Amino acid sequence: MEDEEDGDVTDDDSQASNVASDLVYAFDRGRILSYLEASGWRWLTDQAGDFRVEFAYSDDTGGELSLWLTAGGDSELIYEVVVQSTRRIAKADWQKAIEVCNRWNAEQRWPTAYLAIPEDESASSAPILLERHIDLTFGIHQDLLDDFTRDTFNGSLKFWRWAQDEQGL
């Protein structure tokens, strides 16, 4: 409860806050929205109701990043976090990029990295995507969704630094 005179939070509020963080919520886009509102980031919403956050160019990552936060699957109960860079890999470097992604995936738990080669054989470049998915059929704690999202995004930053600085990609 808040003290009316000075606005301090009392033990009653702390206990209520702890109880709230222990709740398992049904997953929907509202859980994603809660994360975004707390993050302070600006985001876009597509026609399906999924979210995208755009990050400016960084020398650390060698490009601009797009963070996609989506509810996928037939019942929209699969939480998908996908990070894509504006950096595209030239066709001549696809084999090296695949090897770098495979090395990352063998050494790191998340996010999964892969070269998204287009079906169009005339394409001259392709992006690397980093992603992570979790089935939330039985719900999720908001804190876990927040950590899952943050860890995936931070992992993608780590990938791009590693790929650029240590792998020459």
Residue boundaries of the structural domains of the chain: 16-165
Dist. CA 50–CA 70, nearest whole Å? 5
Distance CA 85, CA 41 (A): 18
Alpha carbon 117 to chain centroid distance? Answer: 21
pTM: 0.85
pLDDT at 10 over 50: no
Q: What is the pLDDT of residue 21?
A: 64
CATH number for the region 16-165 comes to: 3.30.1460.70
Question: Is residue 21 within 8 Å of 143, Cβ to Cβ?
Answer: yes
Mean pLDDT of 91-118: 97
Within 53-93, where are the H helices?
Answer: none
Per-residue pLDDT reduced to its tens digit, 30-89: 999 999 999 999 999 999 999 999 999 999 999 999 999 999 999 999 999 999 999 999
- Side-chain-side CA neighbours of residue 104 (13 Å): 29
Consecutive H or E run containing 143 = helix 142-165
